[in-house]
Structure 1
Amino acid sequence: MSSAIADRVMAVTHKLVQQAMHGQWSDVPRTVEERRVLLDRLNATASATDQPWLVALRQAMVESDDAVAKIAAADSPETSLAAGPQDGVHPANTVDSTLAMIRQSR
């Protein structure tokens, strides 16, 4: 198993979280696809002993994709771009509400 690929999967997952937290929705589909490609590469090189943690990693990816979809639906780009501090929407409030949504989806 290539730990370099596994490290990249984790790095891309972190990047995805950052994009979601900052409302960078136009970048999210590319990042999700990048993570899928990396996981496919891991799967292609996985041994039988690697399968249990690879299954767990894939399940985590599915859950992450679901959470990002929920966040994107709640924090649409139109709302994020149109609203700002002048409208009573502070970036910290968006982050707090996003974190609350992630916690509820567990």
Structure 2
Amino acid sequence: MYAIVEIKGFQYRAEENTVLSVPLLKTAKPGQTLEFDRVLLVRNDDEIKVGQPVIEGAAVLAEVIGNGKGKKKIIYHAKRRKGYRVKKGYREQFTNVKVTGIRVP
């Protein structure tokens, strides 16, 4: 059984006991349980339910593992023959959540 769930504008395939790396959830603390109710699709064996756009009453239950930062990403801009060079970088923050269950109406 799995579900396609939308979290902060991104879609993830959620199965039980899988760890998802989602964009930073500022209010989430490690050990806290979360409920994501924007479930777009649920598949259970041969049965598939598709929402219009979401499935009413369905939810993905998850536990927060922790927050972190990803690898550094470099943005480099240059204009040829002008002496213009700009190098910037950032580390994207994320929250790891472990899917504990999928609730289907």
Whether TM exceeds 0.5 here: the answer is no
User: In proportion to residue count, which structure has more helix?
Assistant: 1
Q: Which has the larger radius of gyration?
A: 2
Question: Shorter-chain-normalised TM-score: which range?
Answer: under 0.3
Q: TM-score, normalised by structure 2?
A: 0.23
